[in-house]
Amino acid sequence: MTELGVLIVDDEPLARARLARQLEGLQRCTLLGEAADAEAALVQVEVLDPDLVLMDIEMPGDSGLVLAEKLSAREHPPAMIFCTAHDEFALPAFATAATGYLLKPVAREQLAAAIDKLQRLSKPQRRVAATGKVGESPRPQIKAVSRRGVELLPVDTIRCLIADSKYVVAHHDGGETILDESLKDLEREFGDTFVRVHRNALVSRHFIAGLSRDSGGYRVMLSGSEQRPQVSRRLLPTIRELVEELGR
């Protein structure tokens, strides 16, 4: 089973400390960070890219239910387990795509069972997230408008696609080209060619040369390019499998 990176969100320091202690006794779980409210949690999710968020429901500011809705709207949302003292929120909690609902004080056995269930489901979910939906007839070229006019960029020359603010930058044989299309739409159409390695990056399967590791984590090496897109913790098992398959 794959190790999960966990973020704890609760406005009570003692509740956060208790969950942290419970996690220490569980294998294949790493505590990435903590947040005391929904606003701080959104920042932490952006920075840490956790696989799982353990969250309370009643907190100052946005509730855990509102936070869950915001997380669910992300392109690649983390799994969510509610840890609360209120059983009356169970129905609306599961309406937010939560994978678990535990009542405080959370017992280690309950937490372990909920996480074990999540880990058994996580691998196929990551695979779907990484490959996306394949379009019926993807274009052989992508149109890009620049100061030079309209360019037709051959898809088979693109090493990777990196989301940068409002745009997506295609790194290819001739350099870099800004595309006026979202990474999600490109993934949906060209899922046979590109695989997602991070929330902001797709790489061409045809140019993957291996994985490297630095202080920031794992990166994909691409032949013919100096770009080394970072691999998110959530997608690393899928990318490792792909690299092994390509090396056979």
For the chain, the structural domain boundaries read 4-131, 141-246
* Token code pair at residue 174: 């001739």
Tokens standing for 44?
């932490």
Please identify, in words, the CATH class of the domain defined by 4-131. alpha beta
Q: Work out the number of other CB atoms within 10 angstroms of the CB of residue 119.
A: 18
* Torsions phi, psi for 210 (to 5 deg): 145, -175
- Bridge-based pairing of strands 149-154 and 141-146 is antiparallel
Q: Does the domain spanning 141-246 belong to CATH 2.40.40.20?
A: no
pLDDT at 156 over 80: yes
Mean of all residue pLDDT scores within the chain: 84
Closest CA to 89 of 62, 40, 56: 56
Q: In this predicted model, what pLDDT tens digit does every residue of 40-97 receive, in sequence order?
A: 999 999 888 898 999 999 999 999 989 988 998 887 788 889 898 877 666 566 556 6
The lowest-confidence range among 15-19, 108-112, 135-139, 210-214 is 135-139
- pLDDT higher than threshold 60 for residue 211: yes
pTM of this prediction exceeds 0.75: no
Encoding tokens for residue 161?
């696609």
What separation in angstroms does the CA of 115 have from each of 17, 90, 110, 241? Answer: 18, 18, 9, 23
